[in-house]
Amino acid sequence: MKLLFVADPLDTFKTYKDSTFAMMREAARRGHTLVACEARQLVWLRGGRVTARGAHHITLTGDAHDWFKLEATADVALADVDAVLMRKDPPFDSEFFYATHLLSQAEREGAKVFNKPSSLREHPEKLAILEFPEFISPTLVTRDPAEIRAFHAEQRDIILKPLDGMGGMGIFRVKDDGLNLGSIIETLNKDGTQTVMVQRFIPAIAEGDKRILIIGGKPVPHCLARIPQGNEVRGNLAAGGKGVARPLTARDREIAEYLGPILVQRGLLLVGLDVIGENVTEINVTSPTCFQEITDQSGFDVARMFVDALEEALH
């Protein structure tokens, strides 16, 4: 099969931990052809098809640094490959949004895109949890500072976060004393022009912010608990958290087995749930990661499970 990866520039990959690289490596092991492009290379012209201009046909070298060899550069119509994998990292900004529309047009032309572009648009990673209130902690979404203050008065210990953040960026904790709440509200909601998510603080963050991967509607049996270090409240690896692979708990499995079949029916082949304690905090669909960390520590081959699911979805 020929697989087209829409991703960040290849020379920015940190191959020792990159999940897209893990997918490529497993696909190459099975003899599949690898093609890569960036979202900015997607082009549509009336009378033609959505095309990746100057897409890179690559082979993997096995070298940790010079990890790919460029075999050829060519224009590739997305409908002419067996699968398109949208692996552009967040943020989900306007350009990401426009790229999903080009990918939807490619689907109309016959392309098979994973994750499904319309579902990427319909599942913003923080707001997607609102559909499943039985699995989340007390949560508020608002632009109104008064609503945030009232929520803090009721919950006493809260987390505030922007809706477009990633890697723990812009996350604040305000305890019972309300210290700096006004300043934090001003910073995040920018005089009422930006929407903020506010949640009750979950003490179980001390045990880790768990990334649970769901592939083809089924949970990977191990998660990666991202544990905050020092005085940090964020467990995100990008914020210095320590990743520890663990078997799923009964509650983890209950959540994943409920959400998995729903999400895969929507064309979400790969989902990354963020779970703290017994509560889902995010449903990541744009470019879920942690493949290599889970595999290296648990021995469970996540990339193999993913390519198995991809091949099954294409048959």
**Annotated catalytic residue 284:** yes
Q: In what order do the strands lie in the sheet with 196-200?
A: 139-142, 196-200, 158-162, 172-174
> Exactly one of 18, 38, 282, 293 is catalytic; which is it?
282
Amino acid (1-letter code) at residue 90: P
d(CA 208, CA 166): 17
**Annotated catalytic residue 154:** no
> Exactly one of 115, 189, 226, 252 is catalytic; which is it?
226
**Annotated catalytic residue 190:** no
**Annotated catalytic residue 180:** no
> Exactly one of 88, 112, 116, 161 is catalytic; which is it?
161
**Annotated catalytic residue 161:** yes
**Annotated catalytic residue 274:** yes
> Exactly one of 87, 112, 210, 211 is catalytic; which is it?
211
> Exactly one of 115, 189, 236, 284 is catalytic; which is it?
284
Cβ-contact 263, 214 below 8 angstroms: yes
> Exactly one of 88, 112, 116, 126 is catalytic; which is it?
126
**Annotated catalytic residue 149:** no
d(CA 287, CA 13): 13
Cβ-contact 3, 33 below 8 angstroms: yes
> Exactly one of 18, 38, 252, 274 is catalytic; which is it?
274
**Annotated catalytic residue 226:** yes
> Exactly one of 18, 87, 234, 293 is catalytic; which is it?
234
Catalytic residue numbers, as ranges: 126, 161, 211, 226, 234, 274, 282, 284
